[in-house]
Amino acid sequence: MRLLKLISWQYVRKHLLRTMLTMAGIVLGVAVFVGMHTANQSVLSAFNKTVDRIAGATQLQITAGESGFDEEVLERVQSNPNVRVAVPVIEAVVNLNLKTQSNILVLAVDMTGDRSLREYDLEDGDETVIEDPLVFIAQPDSLMVTREFASANGLAINSKITLSAMDGPRTFTVRGIMKSSGLTSAFGGNLAIMDIYAAQKVFGRNRKFDRIDLAAAEGVSVPELQKQLAATLGPGFEVESPSARGKQFESLSSVYGMLANITSLFALFIGMFIIYNSFAIAVTQRRSEIGIVRALGATRGQIQALFLTESAVLGLVGASAGLLFGLGIARAISASLGNFLGEIYGVAQRADEVSSDPRLLLGALVMGVVTSVIAAWIPARSAASIDPVLALQKGRYQQLSKGENRVRRQMAAVLFVIVFFCLFFAQDRVIFYSGYFLTVIAGLLLVPTLALWLSKAIRPLMKGMRPVEGTLAADSLIQSPRRTSGAVSALALSIALVISLGGMARASYDSINEWMRIALNPDMFLTPTQNVTDRSFRFPASFAETIKQIPGVRLTQVVRNARVLFQGNPVMFVAIDIASLRRESYLPAIQGDSESMYRLAAAGKGFIVSDNFAELYKVKYNEPLQLNTPTGPLSLPVVGIVRDYSDQKGSVLIDRNVYMKYWNDDTINIVRVYLDANTTVAEMRARIEERVAGSTRLFILTNQDLKAYIIKITDQWFGLTYIQLAVAVLVAILGIINTLTVSITDRRRELGVLQAVGALRGQVRRTIWLEAIAIGVVGLLIGLLFGAVALYYSLEMSARDIAGLRLDYTYPWNMAVGLVPVIICAALFAALGPAEQAVRGGLVEALEYE
């Protein structure tokens, strides 16, 4: 510790800016990790809190996916003597078009039994509404809202709220305002209670419920009851504790969690290079100091410990700052994540408070320190091995072992051979990821060699552009590969990440556009909800008939889609008239014979599954697949696999007749409308509005609207992943600033000479700028090369573990070209500070600088 105070602290004080830049890598990595995970946890925790608060005394919940189930199920459950109370529930998130414009969670319950499970503590209103549930039921326009919601929207007792119900606009009356309590704080306080039978009409649920909440009779074991009910109801029903719903939500947000991990690990990995670079440079610069300390009696172990302790302290300070920063950004991320999950999966969720897990924070702290220590390990060892005699001799400053790059090249060659063999056994997950990891290591080992070659290659070009500045800038890179290789590695990794993301984005957009062209070819889409991922409201079956009769409609196709649990994961099924689909939107089978696929599926003799479903759940063509329905298990073979992008978690297409039979549900989510040749979309919109005006809740999307909506969601998805890009580029910029700061210190005399022989300030600045550009260009070129490999692995990862989508490999050339100005500008930006520092130093001191 004494050495740390005497030597390290003095060095840190003298190079405060560089120390801060070095720490910035850790700060960012930890901040991203904490920010993204805390946001994820906050959204999950908000969901769990909502579930928990709404659950009240509920011990078990019965569901059948999103499709709901018939009322008679309730009777069967209630008839079980071990059930103390069982009540039906419909739950939906709607926008009431009120002042705050925020969504509200409508909890529709049967007041006669529900008060055994939940407490409705009225602050204002007619107590008889609650005291006598029949009063509430007798007035089906009753609504109870929370104090928070009422205050925010200026509502009082007897205020009227108009809700666009399935059978047209309905006016509800606020008959109770609930006191702030556990229940009312669910969904951020935006909660309304409605009678369940009114809700069935409002939401178009026919005579179905979403869920049954129940409590066991006294003395009955809940797990026993759970088993009993599961056996009675059959595999089509889930009987779970309320907390199990959190797991399903977690499963939906798992892709985001994985993304958070990749992003933060990548940021830390890049940060590691910056730390390595800084320490490697510090060891070189402090050679004589180390030599003196060694000559005075310090052991190798003490020197190594000195540098490692320095790095640990740096890591600790950086990680602590990262924690604070991460918690700061978690709120903003959680808000957008909540919306994002709502848009993509239709599970609206809001996180009003950031909930941080102490284990996560501790883990992030440890991660920051460990990253820093690992990064400093090699420089610390090289510091310990410094020979005091040599270190005290002048002129041996910053010599890179000539054999160093050769050894690295040899190691890289060996690793590439191993990677090559890994490719043959890539179906094994461990071998695949090992191959990826070894490819990254081999690539990084090659960076100094590639950087040197490229620097030499661009020297004539730079000399041609600016004979003095260009030459000196290129030479600076060539002469100090150790100084620049860290920054180049960090930048190359960032660029590789960007290219792999860009390649995935491009492949995704290409594939989605092609899929939309075939699968989404109707002229119009009619839905009862504002967006197609929200399935709170449903049309009755008769609605399609009404539309069909409108002059100008050539054809209608009805779609019912919902999530059901498959292997414990909520997957999407799409029920549609398969024969009609074959005629109008012929998606070819990528496995199986297309004709027989459509024929068998239309006859109810098979499932058609999307390729991502097949990939994620290891489902194979022609093998049987079992879906659990409310009326019992439905087992059919997979008659074909198609490329379908309906859902990120995979989708199963079945014929509508099969669905209606097994799910006993004829409601509709979407009506696809084809027009005849003489009718325009505008004309048809007017006719539909005229026909259903005021009698049906309806949103009309044109073909372009829907496609634009899907592209918007895809943009959001890639927008989220581009956080990675921003973080990576930011860390890389920090790397360049760090390298240049060191470079101008190293080259102080050179820059002084340059000024002494007549270089103007502008010319010195240009030297630094050109050096930054050279680092940028070299990093960019290596990154573009690495990106080609990273793209292959990213597409494989996407197919295997993220979305199950097999996308075509297409190198994103446009993005590669677009990156050139971005990186050059970023490098120039990074060079601004160091360049000013270079011209502001005293000339006399610079010329005397040793």
Partner 1 sequence: MISLSSVSKRFDGKRQVIALDAVNLQIEKGEMVSLVGPSGSGKSTLLNLIGGLDRPSEGDIRIDGTLLGGVSDDELTRIRRDKIGFIFQFFNLLPTLTCLENVSLPLHLRGWPATRINERARELLALVKLEKRLDHLPEELSGGERQRVAIARALSVYPPILLADEPTGNLDSHTGEEILALIRELHERLKATVLIVTHDRGVAEACPRQIALKDGHIVMDKKG
Residue choice 5, 427, 757, 821 for contact with partner 1 (CB under 8 A): 757
Interface with partner 1, residue 400, by CB under 8 A: no
Is 467 or 719 the residue whose CB approaches partner 1 more closely?
467
Is 67 or 485 the residue whose CB approaches partner 1 more closely?
485
Stretch that binds partner 1, among 248-256, 285-293, 410-418, 463-471 (CB under 8 A): 463-471
Smallest gap from Cβ 847 to partner 1, in A, equals 7
Smallest gap from Cβ 487 to partner 1, in A, equals 19
Stretch that binds partner 1, among 22-30, 314-322, 759-767, 809-817 (CB under 8 A): 759-767
Residue choice 328, 568, 762, 818 for contact with partner 1 (CB under 8 A): 762
Of residues 690-749, which lie at the interface with partner 1 (CB under 8 A)?
Answer: 749
Is 726 or 844 the residue whose CB approaches partner 1 more closely?
844
CB 358, CB 257: distance < 8 Å: no
Is 682 or 757 the residue whose CB approaches partner 1 more closely?
757
Smallest gap from Cβ 19 to partner 1, in A, equals 25
Contacts of 825 (CB under 8 A, 6+ apart): none
* Nearest by Cα to 37 from 267, 333, 351, 341: 333
Scan for tokens 């098979």, then name that residue.
606
Interface with partner 1, residue 16, by CB under 8 A: no
And the tokens for 556? 């209608």
Q: How many angstroms separate the CA atoms of 578 and 371, rounded?
A: 55
Residue choice 4, 157, 222, 468 for contact with partner 1 (CB under 8 A): 468
Stretch that binds partner 1, among 227-235, 360-368, 470-478, 509-517 (CB under 8 A): 470-478
Residue choice 471, 646, 724, 794 for contact with partner 1 (CB under 8 A): 471
Of residues 294-323, which lie at the interface with partner 1 (CB under 8 A)?
Answer: none
Q: How many angstroms separate the CA atoms of 649 and 619, rounded?
A: 13
Q: How many angstroms separate the CA atoms of 131 and 175, rounded?
A: 13
Chain centre distance of CA 187 = 22
Residue choice 110, 475, 534, 644 for contact with partner 1 (CB under 8 A): 475
Is 361 or 478 the residue whose CB approaches partner 1 more closely?
478
Q: How many angstroms separate the CA atoms of 518 and 607, rounded?
A: 20
Q: How many angstroms separate the CA atoms of 602 and 613, rounded?
A: 20
Interface with partner 1, residue 753, by CB under 8 A: yes
Interface with partner 1, residue 105, by CB under 8 A: no
Residues in the chain, overall count: 850
CA distances 350 to 10, 45, 292, 687, Å, are 49, 10, 61, 38
Residue 800 neighbours by CB distance under 10 Å = 17
Residue choice 754, 772, 780, 815 for contact with partner 1 (CB under 8 A): 754
Interface with partner 1, residue 461, by CB under 8 A: no
User: How much of the chain is helix, strand and coil, in % rounded to 5?
Assistant: 60, 15, 20
Q: How many angstroms separate the CA atoms of 331 and 348, rounded?
A: 17
CB 147, CB 178: distance < 8 Å: yes
Smallest gap from Cβ 755 to partner 1, in A, equals 7
Q: Kindly report the CA angle at 353 between 347 and 354, in degrees rounded to 5?
A: 95
Smallest gap from Cβ 743 to partner 1, in A, equals 13
* Nearest by Cα to 447 from 476, 485, 475: 485
Residue choice 168, 223, 328, 467 for contact with partner 1 (CB under 8 A): 467
Smallest gap from Cβ 836 to partner 1, in A, equals 13
Stretch that binds partner 1, among 359-367, 436-444, 466-474, 724-732 (CB under 8 A): 466-474
CB 209, CB 73: distance < 8 Å: yes
> 565: buried, middle or exposed (CB in 10 Å: 19+, 13-18, 0-12)?
buried
Residue choice 270, 444, 472, 597 for contact with partner 1 (CB under 8 A): 472
Q: How many angstroms separate the CA atoms of 234 and 504, rounded?
A: 42
Interface with partner 1, residue 750, by CB under 8 A: yes
Of residues 830-849, which lie at the interface with partner 1 (CB under 8 A)?
Answer: 842-844, 847
CB 771, CB 473: distance < 8 Å: yes
Is 514 or 845 the residue whose CB approaches partner 1 more closely?
845
Which residues lie across from 89 on neighbouring strands?
A: 109, 211
Smallest gap from Cβ 457 to partner 1, in A, equals 16
Q: How many angstroms separate the CA atoms of 93 and 199, rounded?
A: 12
Q: Kindly report the CA angle at 176 between 175 and 180, in degrees rounded to 5?
A: 160
What angle, rounded to 10 degrees, do the helices at 358-384 and 300-345 form?
A: 140
Smallest gap from Cβ 749 to partner 1, in A, equals 7
Interface with partner 1, residue 755, by CB under 8 A: yes
Q: What is the DSSP string of 766-817?
A: HHHHHHHHHHHHHHHHHHHHHHHHHHHHHHHHIIIIIS---------HHHHH
Is 468 or 711 the residue whose CB approaches partner 1 more closely?
468
Is 362 or 760 the residue whose CB approaches partner 1 more closely?
760
Of residues 479-498, which lie at the interface with partner 1 (CB under 8 A)?
Answer: 479
Of residues 763-822, which lie at the interface with partner 1 (CB under 8 A)?
Answer: 763
Stretch that binds partner 1, among 334-342, 450-458, 473-481, 676-684 (CB under 8 A): 473-481
For binding to partner 1 (CB under 8 A), which residues are involved?
467-468, 471-472, 475-476, 478-479, 749-750, 752-763, 842-844, 847
